Structure 1
Amino acid sequence: MKCIVLDIGETLVRDDRYWALWADWLAIPRHTVSALVGAVVAQGRDNADALRLLRPDIDIGAEYRAREAAGRGEYLDETDLYDDVRPALAALRELGVRVVIAGNQTVKAAKLLRYLNLPADFVATSGEWGCAKPSGEFFARVLETAAGAAPWEIVYVGDHPANDTLAASAAGLRAAHLRRGPWGHLWADEPMVVEAADWVIDSLYDLIDIVKQHQMV
Protein backbone atom coordinates (compact mmCIF):
# COMPACT_ATOMS: atom_id res chain seq x y z
CA MET A 1 0.00 0.00 0.00
CA LYS A 2 1.81 3.06 -1.26
CA CYS A 3 -0.73 5.85 -1.62
CA ILE A 4 -3.82 7.02 0.26
CA VAL A 5 -6.12 9.37 -1.68
CA LEU A 6 -8.77 11.23 0.27
CA ASP A 7 -12.06 12.79 -0.75
CA ILE A 8 -12.69 16.27 0.68
CA GLY A 9 -16.29 17.05 1.69
CA GLU A 10 -17.39 15.02 4.73
CA THR A 11 -14.07 13.17 4.65
CA LEU A 12 -11.66 15.93 5.61
CA VAL A 13 -14.01 18.89 5.88
CA ARG A 14 -17.43 19.17 7.52
CA ASP A 15 -20.13 20.55 5.25
CA ASP A 16 -21.84 22.60 7.99
CA ARG A 17 -20.47 25.93 6.79
CA TYR A 18 -21.06 25.08 3.11
CA TRP A 19 -24.81 24.59 3.55
CA ALA A 20 -25.17 27.37 6.12
CA LEU A 21 -23.70 29.87 3.68
CA TRP A 22 -26.11 28.74 0.97
CA ALA A 23 -29.05 29.00 3.37
CA ASP A 24 -28.08 32.51 4.40
CA TRP A 25 -27.55 33.61 0.80
CA LEU A 26 -30.95 32.33 -0.27
CA ALA A 27 -32.62 33.67 2.90
CA ILE A 28 -33.84 30.19 3.83
CA PRO A 29 -33.73 28.87 7.41
CA ARG A 30 -30.64 26.74 7.90
CA HIS A 31 -32.63 23.84 9.34
CA THR A 32 -34.77 23.76 6.17
CA VAL A 33 -31.71 23.43 3.96
CA SER A 34 -30.22 20.75 6.24
CA ALA A 35 -33.46 18.78 6.19
CA LEU A 36 -33.65 18.88 2.40
CA VAL A 37 -30.03 17.81 2.08
CA GLY A 38 -30.89 14.81 4.25
CA ALA A 39 -33.91 14.06 2.10
CA VAL A 40 -32.00 14.03 -1.19
CA VAL A 41 -29.24 11.94 0.38
CA ALA A 42 -31.83 9.36 1.46
CA GLN A 43 -33.14 9.28 -2.10
CA GLY A 44 -29.65 8.81 -3.55
CA ARG A 45 -29.81 12.15 -5.36
CA ASP A 46 -27.17 14.82 -5.83
CA ASN A 47 -26.71 17.18 -2.88
CA ALA A 48 -27.34 20.18 -5.11
CA ASP A 49 -30.89 18.95 -5.62
CA ALA A 50 -31.62 20.38 -2.17
CA LEU A 51 -31.10 23.85 -3.64
CA ARG A 52 -33.18 22.99 -6.69
CA LEU A 53 -36.06 21.93 -4.46
CA LEU A 54 -35.94 25.33 -2.82
CA ARG A 55 -35.53 27.28 -6.05
CA PRO A 56 -36.48 25.14 -9.07
CA ASP A 57 -35.17 27.78 -11.48
CA ILE A 58 -31.87 28.33 -9.68
CA ASP A 59 -28.67 28.66 -11.71
CA ILE A 60 -26.25 27.34 -9.10
CA GLY A 61 -23.15 28.47 -10.98
CA ALA A 62 -24.48 32.00 -11.37
CA GLU A 63 -25.49 32.18 -7.72
CA TYR A 64 -22.06 30.90 -6.68
CA ARG A 65 -20.40 33.68 -8.67
CA ALA A 66 -22.78 36.26 -7.21
CA ARG A 67 -21.92 35.13 -3.69
CA GLU A 68 -18.22 35.45 -4.44
CA ALA A 69 -18.70 38.93 -5.90
CA ALA A 70 -20.63 39.97 -2.81
CA GLY A 71 -17.89 38.76 -0.47
CA ARG A 72 -20.09 35.98 0.86
CA GLY A 73 -18.51 33.12 -1.00
CA GLU A 74 -16.79 29.85 -0.28
CA TYR A 75 -14.60 29.73 2.80
CA LEU A 76 -12.63 27.16 4.80
CA ASP A 77 -10.50 27.39 7.89
CA GLU A 78 -9.13 25.12 10.59
CA THR A 79 -12.50 24.84 12.32
CA ASP A 80 -13.97 23.11 9.26
CA LEU A 81 -11.58 20.16 9.53
CA TYR A 82 -12.53 16.98 11.34
CA ASP A 83 -10.37 16.44 14.42
CA ASP A 84 -8.60 13.37 13.06
CA VAL A 85 -7.42 14.96 9.80
CA ARG A 86 -4.06 16.46 10.71
CA PRO A 87 -2.84 13.73 13.07
CA ALA A 88 -3.98 10.85 10.84
CA LEU A 89 -2.51 12.29 7.65
CA ALA A 90 0.75 13.09 9.42
CA ALA A 91 0.95 9.55 10.79
CA LEU A 92 0.36 8.08 7.32
CA ARG A 93 3.23 10.11 5.90
CA GLU A 94 5.47 8.97 8.75
CA LEU A 95 4.72 5.40 7.68
CA GLY A 96 6.06 6.22 4.21
CA VAL A 97 2.69 6.46 2.49
CA ARG A 98 2.06 9.12 -0.15
CA VAL A 99 -0.97 11.20 0.89
CA VAL A 100 -3.10 12.79 -1.82
CA ILE A 101 -6.22 14.92 -1.46
CA ALA A 102 -8.51 14.82 -4.49
CA GLY A 103 -12.25 15.40 -4.57
CA ASN A 104 -15.19 17.08 -6.25
CA GLN A 105 -14.65 20.69 -5.27
CA THR A 106 -14.08 24.06 -6.85
CA VAL A 107 -10.84 25.72 -7.89
CA LYS A 108 -11.20 28.05 -4.90
CA ALA A 109 -11.59 25.09 -2.53
CA ALA A 110 -8.22 23.77 -3.72
CA LYS A 111 -6.59 27.12 -2.91
CA LEU A 112 -8.22 27.21 0.52
CA LEU A 113 -7.06 23.67 1.29
CA ARG A 114 -3.50 24.46 0.25
CA TYR A 115 -3.58 27.51 2.48
CA LEU A 116 -4.35 25.22 5.43
CA ASN A 117 -1.03 23.46 4.76
CA LEU A 118 -2.29 19.97 5.54
CA PRO A 119 0.20 17.09 5.81
CA ALA A 120 -0.37 15.93 2.24
CA ASP A 121 1.89 15.46 -0.76
CA PHE A 122 -0.58 16.68 -3.36
CA VAL A 123 -3.93 18.52 -3.44
CA ALA A 124 -6.26 18.77 -6.43
CA THR A 125 -9.95 19.26 -7.12
CA SER A 126 -12.33 18.43 -9.93
CA GLY A 127 -12.60 22.14 -10.68
CA GLU A 128 -8.89 22.24 -11.47
CA TRP A 129 -8.90 18.99 -13.43
CA GLY A 130 -12.01 19.71 -15.47
CA CYS A 131 -13.46 16.31 -14.64
CA ALA A 132 -15.39 15.00 -11.67
CA LYS A 133 -16.19 11.81 -9.83
CA PRO A 134 -17.46 9.26 -10.56
CA SER A 135 -15.93 9.54 -14.06
CA GLY A 136 -13.12 7.29 -15.15
CA GLU A 137 -11.23 10.39 -16.25
CA PHE A 138 -11.12 11.65 -12.66
CA PHE A 139 -9.68 8.38 -11.39
CA ALA A 140 -7.17 8.31 -14.24
CA ARG A 141 -5.96 11.66 -12.91
CA VAL A 142 -5.83 10.16 -9.41
CA LEU A 143 -3.53 7.46 -10.72
CA GLU A 144 -1.24 10.14 -12.15
CA THR A 145 -0.86 11.67 -8.67
CA ALA A 146 0.18 8.40 -7.07
CA ALA A 147 3.86 8.62 -8.06
CA GLY A 148 3.98 5.32 -9.90
CA ALA A 149 1.88 3.25 -7.50
CA ALA A 150 -0.23 0.56 -9.15
CA PRO A 151 -4.04 0.80 -8.77
CA TRP A 152 -4.12 -2.00 -6.19
CA GLU A 153 -1.51 -0.13 -4.13
CA ILE A 154 -3.78 2.93 -3.85
CA VAL A 155 -6.65 3.33 -1.37
CA TYR A 156 -9.34 5.89 -2.14
CA VAL A 157 -11.13 7.09 0.99
CA GLY A 158 -14.53 8.76 0.91
CA ASP A 159 -18.05 8.91 2.26
CA HIS A 160 -20.10 8.80 -0.95
CA PRO A 161 -21.15 5.37 -2.24
CA ALA A 162 -21.34 6.18 -5.96
CA ASN A 163 -18.72 8.90 -6.26
CA ASP A 164 -16.15 7.34 -3.96
CA THR A 165 -16.53 3.69 -3.01
CA LEU A 166 -18.09 2.21 -6.14
CA ALA A 167 -16.21 4.45 -8.57
CA ALA A 168 -12.81 3.81 -6.98
CA SER A 169 -13.43 0.07 -6.97
CA ALA A 170 -14.51 0.16 -10.61
CA ALA A 171 -11.27 1.98 -11.45
CA GLY A 172 -9.25 -0.83 -9.91
CA LEU A 173 -8.29 1.05 -6.75
CA ARG A 174 -8.89 -0.24 -3.27
CA ALA A 175 -11.72 1.56 -1.51
CA ALA A 176 -12.33 2.59 2.08
CA HIS A 177 -15.87 3.78 2.78
CA LEU A 178 -15.85 6.32 5.60
CA ARG A 179 -18.85 6.26 7.90
CA ARG A 180 -19.00 10.04 8.22
CA GLY A 181 -21.53 12.66 7.19
CA PRO A 182 -25.03 11.88 5.91
CA TRP A 183 -23.94 9.87 2.87
CA GLY A 184 -21.31 7.94 4.80
CA HIS A 185 -23.62 6.91 7.61
CA LEU A 186 -26.76 6.25 5.60
CA TRP A 187 -25.17 4.09 2.92
CA ALA A 188 -22.39 2.31 4.84
CA ASP A 189 -24.33 -0.93 5.31
CA GLU A 190 -25.88 -1.09 1.84
CA PRO A 191 -24.94 -4.37 0.10
CA MET A 192 -23.47 -2.55 -2.92
CA VAL A 193 -21.15 -0.55 -0.64
CA VAL A 194 -20.16 -3.53 1.49
CA GLU A 195 -19.35 -5.51 -1.64
CA ALA A 196 -17.32 -2.74 -3.29
CA ALA A 197 -15.46 -1.50 -0.22
CA ASP A 198 -12.28 -3.18 0.94
CA TRP A 199 -12.90 -1.55 4.30
CA VAL A 200 -15.69 0.36 6.03
CA ILE A 201 -14.05 2.69 8.54
CA ASP A 202 -15.27 5.03 11.26
CA SER A 203 -12.27 7.33 11.45
CA LEU A 204 -9.20 8.33 9.46
CA TYR A 205 -7.20 6.83 12.31
CA ASP A 206 -8.35 3.42 11.07
CA LEU A 207 -6.20 3.94 7.99
CA ILE A 208 -3.07 3.90 10.14
CA ASP A 209 -3.81 0.37 11.37
CA ILE A 210 -4.70 -0.76 7.84
CA VAL A 211 -1.35 0.47 6.51
CA LYS A 212 0.59 -1.08 9.40
CA GLN A 213 -1.09 -4.45 8.84
CA HIS A 214 -0.15 -4.41 5.17
CA GLN A 215 3.42 -3.44 5.94
CA MET A 216 3.73 -6.49 8.19
CA VAL A 217 2.66 -8.90 5.41
Structure 2
Amino acid sequence: MRAVYLGSMPVFVAVLALSVGHPTNAQQATVTSPPPEIADKVQLCASCHGADGKPVVEKVPIIFGQHMFYLLTELKDYRAGRRANEIMAPIAAQLSDDEMKALATYFAAQPWPNYSEVSSPEDNARAQSLAVEGQCTQCHLGGMLGDSRNPRLNHQKVDYLTQTMTDFRGGVRKNAAAMAAIVKDWSDADIAAMSHYLAGL
Protein backbone atom coordinates (compact mmCIF):
# COMPACT_ATOMS: atom_id res chain seq x y z
CA MET A 1 0.00 0.00 0.00
CA ARG A 2 1.10 3.58 -0.59
CA ALA A 3 -0.58 6.93 -0.14
CA VAL A 4 -1.59 8.92 -3.19
CA TYR A 5 -2.21 12.55 -2.27
CA LEU A 6 -5.07 14.41 -3.87
CA GLY A 7 -4.51 17.94 -2.62
CA SER A 8 -3.85 17.48 1.12
CA MET A 9 -5.88 14.28 1.42
CA PRO A 10 -4.01 10.96 1.42
CA VAL A 11 -5.82 8.05 -0.18
CA PHE A 12 -4.25 4.63 0.11
CA VAL A 13 -4.01 2.57 -3.05
CA ALA A 14 -2.91 -1.03 -3.40
CA VAL A 15 -0.45 -0.30 -6.18
CA LEU A 16 0.44 -3.85 -7.15
CA ALA A 17 -3.17 -4.92 -7.49
CA LEU A 18 -4.44 -1.74 -9.10
CA SER A 19 -1.73 -0.50 -11.41
CA VAL A 20 -3.45 1.05 -14.42
CA GLY A 21 -0.56 -0.08 -16.57
CA HIS A 22 -1.55 -3.75 -16.36
CA PRO A 23 -5.03 -4.34 -17.82
CA THR A 24 -6.52 -7.79 -18.20
CA ASN A 25 -5.48 -9.94 -21.16
CA ALA A 26 -8.87 -9.50 -22.82
CA GLN A 27 -8.39 -5.74 -22.81
CA GLN A 28 -4.61 -5.57 -23.29
CA ALA A 29 -4.91 -3.92 -26.70
CA THR A 30 -7.63 -1.43 -25.87
CA VAL A 31 -7.17 -0.06 -22.33
CA THR A 32 -4.91 2.96 -22.67
CA SER A 33 -2.61 4.66 -20.20
CA PRO A 34 -3.87 7.99 -18.88
CA PRO A 35 -2.22 11.31 -19.70
CA PRO A 36 0.59 12.06 -17.21
CA GLU A 37 -1.23 15.02 -15.71
CA ILE A 38 -4.07 12.81 -14.43
CA ALA A 39 -2.21 9.51 -13.95
CA ASP A 40 -2.25 9.67 -10.13
CA LYS A 41 -5.93 10.57 -10.13
CA VAL A 42 -6.77 7.67 -12.44
CA GLN A 43 -4.84 5.36 -10.12
CA LEU A 44 -6.87 6.72 -7.21
CA CYS A 45 -10.09 6.01 -9.13
CA ALA A 46 -8.85 2.46 -9.77
CA SER A 47 -8.78 1.76 -6.03
CA CYS A 48 -12.58 1.44 -6.20
CA HIS A 49 -13.55 1.36 -9.89
CA GLY A 50 -10.85 -1.13 -10.87
CA ALA A 51 -7.77 -0.88 -13.07
CA ASP A 52 -9.44 -2.87 -15.85
CA GLY A 53 -12.86 -1.25 -15.51
CA LYS A 54 -14.33 -3.89 -13.19
CA PRO A 55 -15.06 -2.30 -9.80
CA VAL A 56 -13.31 -3.91 -6.85
CA VAL A 57 -15.58 -2.37 -4.19
CA GLU A 58 -19.26 -3.18 -3.67
CA LYS A 59 -21.90 -0.73 -4.92
CA VAL A 60 -19.39 1.12 -7.10
CA PRO A 61 -20.37 1.62 -10.76
CA ILE A 62 -18.55 0.74 -13.93
CA ILE A 63 -17.21 3.99 -15.38
CA PHE A 64 -15.01 2.61 -18.20
CA GLY A 65 -16.92 3.36 -21.40
CA GLN A 66 -19.58 5.45 -19.68
CA HIS A 67 -20.63 8.61 -21.52
CA MET A 68 -18.23 11.52 -21.12
CA PHE A 69 -20.74 14.28 -20.45
CA TYR A 70 -22.60 12.14 -17.92
CA LEU A 71 -19.37 11.40 -16.03
CA LEU A 72 -18.46 15.08 -16.06
CA THR A 73 -21.91 16.07 -14.80
CA GLU A 74 -21.76 13.58 -11.93
CA LEU A 75 -18.32 14.80 -10.85
CA LYS A 76 -19.62 18.37 -10.81
CA ASP A 77 -22.70 17.26 -8.86
CA TYR A 78 -20.50 15.58 -6.23
CA ARG A 79 -18.43 18.74 -5.91
CA ALA A 80 -21.50 20.97 -5.65
CA GLY A 81 -23.28 18.73 -3.15
CA ARG A 82 -26.09 17.81 -5.52
CA ARG A 83 -25.09 14.16 -5.21
CA ALA A 84 -23.97 12.78 -1.87
CA ASN A 85 -21.28 10.16 -1.33
CA GLU A 86 -18.80 10.11 1.52
CA ILE A 87 -15.96 8.94 -0.74
CA MET A 88 -16.66 10.77 -3.98
CA ALA A 89 -17.65 14.15 -2.55
CA PRO A 90 -14.27 14.99 -0.94
CA ILE A 91 -12.39 13.70 -3.98
CA ALA A 92 -14.46 15.78 -6.39
CA ALA A 93 -14.11 18.83 -4.13
CA GLN A 94 -10.39 18.93 -4.92
CA LEU A 95 -10.70 18.56 -8.69
CA SER A 96 -10.61 21.52 -11.05
CA ASP A 97 -12.96 21.79 -14.01
CA ASP A 98 -10.10 20.88 -16.36
CA GLU A 99 -9.20 17.82 -14.28
CA MET A 100 -12.81 16.68 -14.24
CA LYS A 101 -13.06 17.04 -18.01
CA ALA A 102 -9.79 15.16 -18.52
CA LEU A 103 -10.89 12.31 -16.25
CA ALA A 104 -14.32 12.05 -17.86
CA THR A 105 -12.75 12.05 -21.33
CA TYR A 106 -10.23 9.36 -20.37
CA PHE A 107 -12.72 6.98 -18.78
CA ALA A 108 -15.30 7.44 -21.55
CA ALA A 109 -12.66 6.40 -24.10
CA GLN A 110 -11.92 3.09 -22.34
CA PRO A 111 -13.72 -0.17 -23.23
CA TRP A 112 -16.69 -1.26 -21.18
CA PRO A 113 -15.50 -4.31 -19.20
CA ASN A 114 -16.80 -7.81 -19.74
CA TYR A 115 -19.46 -7.98 -17.04
CA SER A 116 -22.88 -9.59 -17.05
CA GLU A 117 -25.35 -11.19 -14.66
CA VAL A 118 -27.86 -13.94 -15.30
CA SER A 119 -31.44 -12.73 -14.94
CA SER A 120 -34.47 -14.96 -14.66
CA PRO A 121 -37.37 -14.93 -17.13
CA GLU A 122 -39.58 -13.70 -14.29
CA ASP A 123 -37.26 -10.78 -13.52
CA ASN A 124 -37.01 -9.94 -17.21
CA ALA A 125 -40.78 -9.86 -17.65
CA ARG A 126 -41.26 -7.74 -14.54
CA ALA A 127 -38.50 -5.31 -15.53
CA GLN A 128 -39.73 -4.97 -19.10
CA SER A 129 -43.18 -4.08 -17.82
CA LEU A 130 -41.69 -1.48 -15.47
CA ALA A 131 -39.54 -0.10 -18.29
CA VAL A 132 -42.57 0.38 -20.53
CA GLU A 133 -44.54 2.00 -17.72
CA GLY A 134 -41.63 4.28 -16.80
CA GLN A 135 -40.71 5.01 -20.43
CA CYS A 136 -37.09 4.21 -19.59
CA THR A 137 -35.96 4.12 -23.21
CA GLN A 138 -37.02 7.75 -23.69
CA CYS A 139 -33.81 8.72 -21.87
CA HIS A 140 -31.66 5.60 -21.77
CA LEU A 141 -32.52 4.65 -25.37
CA GLY A 142 -32.81 1.24 -26.96
CA GLY A 143 -30.72 -1.42 -25.30
CA MET A 144 -30.38 0.92 -22.31
CA LEU A 145 -27.14 2.21 -23.83
CA GLY A 146 -27.82 5.84 -22.90
CA ASP A 147 -26.49 8.99 -24.51
CA SER A 148 -24.34 11.96 -23.57
CA ARG A 149 -26.63 13.09 -20.74
CA ASN A 150 -28.06 9.76 -19.63
CA PRO A 151 -25.93 6.86 -18.42
CA ARG A 152 -25.51 3.49 -20.01
CA LEU A 153 -27.29 0.92 -17.82
CA ASN A 154 -26.70 -2.10 -20.06
CA HIS A 155 -24.34 -4.50 -18.19
CA GLN A 156 -23.96 -2.11 -15.26
CA LYS A 157 -23.30 -3.76 -11.89
CA VAL A 158 -26.30 -5.21 -10.07
CA ASP A 159 -25.34 -3.95 -6.62
CA TYR A 160 -24.76 -0.41 -7.89
CA LEU A 161 -28.03 -0.35 -9.82
CA THR A 162 -29.93 -1.59 -6.78
CA GLN A 163 -28.31 0.98 -4.52
CA THR A 164 -28.79 3.95 -6.83
CA MET A 165 -32.46 3.17 -7.56
CA THR A 166 -33.05 2.71 -3.83
CA ASP A 167 -31.37 6.06 -3.21
CA PHE A 168 -33.58 7.77 -5.80
CA ARG A 169 -36.67 6.21 -4.25
CA GLY A 170 -35.69 7.27 -0.74
CA GLY A 171 -34.65 10.81 -1.64
CA VAL A 172 -30.98 10.17 -0.86
CA ARG A 173 -29.94 10.90 -4.42
CA LYS A 174 -31.43 14.19 -5.55
CA ASN A 175 -29.75 15.08 -8.85
CA ALA A 176 -32.30 13.50 -11.23
CA ALA A 177 -35.90 14.38 -10.41
CA ALA A 178 -37.27 12.30 -13.28
CA MET A 179 -35.66 9.14 -11.90
CA ALA A 180 -36.98 9.79 -8.42
CA ALA A 181 -40.50 10.18 -9.81
CA ILE A 182 -40.28 6.94 -11.79
CA VAL A 183 -39.08 4.70 -8.94
CA LYS A 184 -40.92 6.32 -6.02
CA ASP A 185 -43.56 3.58 -5.88
CA TRP A 186 -41.34 0.66 -6.82
CA SER A 187 -41.01 -2.18 -4.34
CA ASP A 188 -37.70 -3.77 -3.37
CA ALA A 189 -38.65 -6.68 -5.64
CA ASP A 190 -39.23 -4.27 -8.54
CA ILE A 191 -35.81 -2.71 -8.05
CA ALA A 192 -34.13 -6.11 -7.77
CA ALA A 193 -35.79 -7.33 -10.96
CA MET A 194 -34.80 -4.21 -12.89
CA SER A 195 -31.22 -4.36 -11.60
CA HIS A 196 -30.74 -7.97 -12.69
CA TYR A 197 -32.45 -7.32 -16.02
CA LEU A 198 -30.22 -4.36 -16.84
CA ALA A 199 -27.05 -6.15 -15.75
CA GLY A 200 -27.94 -9.11 -17.93
CA LEU A 201 -28.83 -7.29 -21.15
With normalisation by structure 1, the TM-score equals 0.30
Greater length-normalized contact order (CA 8 Å, ≥ 6 residues apart): 1
Higher strand share goes to which structure?
Answer: 1
